Chains A and B, each alone.
Chain A
Amino acid sequence: MADAYPKTPMLDELEKGKWPSFVTEIKMAAADNPMGKDLLGLLERSYREKIGHWKHGGIVGVMGYGGGVIGRYNDLPDEYPNISHFHTMRINQPAGWFYTTEALRKICDIWEKHGSGLTNMHGSTGDIILLGTTTDELEPTFDELQKINFDIGGSGSDVRTPSCCCGQARCEWACYDTMGACYDFTMAYQDELHRPAFPYKFKFKFSGCPNDCVASIARSDMSIIGMWRDDIQMDKDAIKEYADGGMDIKADVVDNCPAKCMDWNGKELTIENSYCRHCMHCINVMPKALAPGKDRGATILLGAKAPIVEGALLSSVIIPFIKMEPPYQEIKDLTERIWDVWCEEGKNRERVGEFIQRVGLGNFLEAIEVEPIPEMVAHPRENPYVFYEEYFEEDDGSED
């Protein structure tokens, strides 16, 4: 099986159509690397039999690190010997995914030498994913990657590789330096990234504005989303230009404002900023005329996760506004208080969001020393988890 190029009628179907095909990519890799051939054969067989043939291997890694390598073995090693081991390495991507072509070529050269040559750019957490190598090749790959200044990312019960949008590097809407913050947190929490010590994974994602291009609100335990707290900036001449150019400002902008806090009288646009929900809709539709305010920082939200052990959660507001200035000490202090409580009381494989649901937000806030505030309530009367102790003391439970 290993030497013959396998027939793959089912996989071939996935090459039809105009979109890129991972099957084509594996076939290209198979031309030079026997791992690719066996991978095609095993995948075709899995499709035919409707049975997965991968076993999870729990011990592989590099010396001193507890994350970043995901062990994989196939359960038919005699038939597919070249992918008997097929471990994945997660490599910490640069902030904002900015590379030089030279860096990319070096990564690919290293991976062709030590692994299958197949990559996934990028995994859902953001890492560079190097697919398929043997246990013996892990340390040599790691050594070579370190020489070109790349390090392994997170996996298991640790801080996962933080990720961010391109922020101020390319985007005028960035309310803080997402790349700077992402790099700072990555370096500050190296120990937590490489030495799993938590009940389960913990993800940071940094978005420069509420457009949230890295989907932090859905995919990170701590979402740090750029925010402004003054008025939306307006350029009246540019608004007129949009109107003169045929934009229906009432239908396309004002009527779609979720806060219903905008008005257009045919000549002038007004915004009642105190009601604005910072959704970015109007700014996205009229980018030349509107922009986030000048008093910028971030909102911190907590608790998102994809459905694994339990259902999906979006993160919810824990700090409505904070200035984002290095070294971000206030956020780090908050993060460490959250970790302390979660590590002490959290169950195995319980994400922070699930932990908060179990213990109740009121108890959690008390434990991390954060005061409950109205911004934490999604809808009035829908989140009855905040109790005012003074109220009970004064009232003493007796009826008037």
Chain B
Amino acid sequence: MAKTVEEITEMMYKMISEAQGIKKLKPMDLTKAMKQLLGDEFDKKTCKLAIKNLIDTGRCVYTYFGGSFIELPHKEGAAND
């Protein structure tokens, strides 16, 4: 059975948490990873909604370092108080 938006959200959140501080992930990296994991069950729209979920709930944030990434909220080295 196809995964729900909530399930994909959790799968993506886990990936982002594990990559935090090691590798910056772009939204497309998350979507491609889901495609690999889910095979025939993959649905692009559900992935888009899952990313929206992660951002709108504040669990993740967009960051910009030459390109746009999705990370856990954190204080950057460059930020002044």
Contact B64 A155 (CB under 8 A): yes
Contacts of A199 in B (CB 8 A): 26, 28, 67
- Whether B78 and A57, one on each chain, are in contact in the complex, defined by CB atoms closer than 8 angstroms, is yes
Q: Which of B42-81 contact A (CB under 8 A)?
A: 48, 51-52, 55-56, 58, 61-68, 71, 73-74, 76, 78-81
When distances are taken between beta carbons in the complex, the residues of chain B under 8 Å from A197 are 26-28, 31, 48, 51, 68
The answer on a CB contact under 8 Å between A348 and B78 is no
B28 and A195 contact, CB distance less than 8 A:
no
Q: Inside 8 A of B71's CB, which chain A residues have their CB? A: 59
- Which of B28, B68, B79 makes the CB contact (< 8 A) with A57? B79
A156 to B70 Cα, complex, angstroms: 12
Partner of B56, one of A64, A156, A200, A348: A64
CB neighbours of B65 from chain A (8 A): 56, 58
Cα A71 to Cα B78 with chains together (Å): 10
Given A64-B55, A158-B68: A58 and B78 interface contact (C-beta under 8 Å): yes
Q: Produce 1/0 per residue, A138-157, CB < 8 A to B.
A: 00000000000000000111
**Are the CB atoms of B67 and A66 closer together than 8 Å?**
no
Whether the pair B62, A61 counts as a contact (CB closer than 8 A) is: yes
For A70, list chain B residues within 8 Å (CB): 64
A66 to B58, CA, bound (A): 12
Measured CB to CB, the closest approach of chain A to B36, in angstroms, equals: 13
Most buried by A among B48, B52, B64, B78: B64
A45 at the interface (CB under 8 A from B): no
A77-B55 in contact given A59-B61, A156-B62 (Cβ < 8 Å): no
Which residue of B is nearest A191, CB measured?
A: B48
Q: Are B55 and A195 in contact (CB under 8 A)?
A: yes
**Hey, which chain B residues are within 8 Å of A58, CB to CB?**
63-65, 76, 78
Does A48 reach chain B (CB closer than 8 Å)? no
Cα(A77)–Cα(B81), bound, Å: 9
A95 to chain B, nearest CB (A): 25
Q: Report B-chain residues with C-beta under 8 Å of the C-beta of A157.
A: 26, 67-68
12 sample A-B contacts, Cβ–Cβ < 8 Å, listed by A number: A57-B79, A58-B63, A59-B71, A66-B55, A73-B80, A155-B64, A156-B68, A157-B67, A158-B68, A196-B27, A197-B27, A348-B67
Top 8 closest pairs, chain A to chain B, by CB = A66-B62, A196-B68, A156-B68, A157-B68, A197-B27, A84-B80, A73-B80, A58-B63
Binding site for A on B (CB under 8 A): 26-28, 31-32, 48, 51-52, 55-56, 58, 61-68, 71, 73-74, 76, 78-81
Measured between C-beta atoms, what is the minimum distance from B69 to chain A in Å? 8
Q: A63-B58, A197-B51 are in contact. Are A56 and B68 (CB under 8 A)?
A: no
CB distance from B33 to the nearest CB of A (A): 13
CA distance A153 to B28 in the complex (A): 21
Interface range on chain A (Cβ under 8 Å from partner): 20 to 34
User: How far, in Å, is A111 (CB) from chain B's closest CB?
Assistant: 21
Is A337's CB within 8 Å of the partner chain B?
no
* Contact of B78 with A195 in the complex, beta carbons under 8 Å: no
A238-261 residues with Cβ-Cβ distance < 8 A to B are none
A195:B79 contact, CB within 8 angstroms: no
Which chain B positions have C-beta within 8 A of A191?
48
Query: Which residues of A sit under 8 angstroms from B28, Cβ to Cβ?
Result: 197-199, 343
Chain A's closest residue to B27 (CB) is A197
Given known pairs A61-B62, A63-B58, A64-B55, the reply for A73 and B78 (CB within 8 Å) is yes
Picked from A55, A67, A156, A195, the residue with its CB within 8 Å of the CB of B52 is A195
- Contact between B79 and A66, CB atoms less than 8 A apart: no
Q: Check if A281 is an interface residue, CB within 8 A of chain B.
A: no
CB of A73 within 8 A of CB of B55, answer no
How far, in whole Å, are A46 and B67 apart by their CA atoms in the complex? 27
Of A59, A63, A155, A195, the most chain B CB neighbours within 10 A belong to A59
Question: Which B residue's beta carbon lies closest to that of A350?
Answer: B67
Q: Taking the complex as formed, is A296 at the interface, i.e. its CB lies under 8 A from any CB of chain B?
A: no
Shortest beta-carbon distance from B63 to chain A in Å: 5
Interface: A27 (CB within 8 A):
no
Give CA–CA (A44, B78) in the complex, Å: 23
Residues of A within 8 A of B52 (CB): 195
A156 and B26 form a contact (CB under 8 A): no
State the Cβ distance, B44 to closest chain A Cβ, in Å: 9
A349 at the interface (CB under 8 A from B): yes
From residue A35, how far is it (CB to closest CB) to chain B in Å? 14
In the complex, chain B residues whose CB is within 8 Å of the CB of A84: 80-81
User: Which residue in chain A gives the minimum CB-CB distance to B74?
Assistant: A59
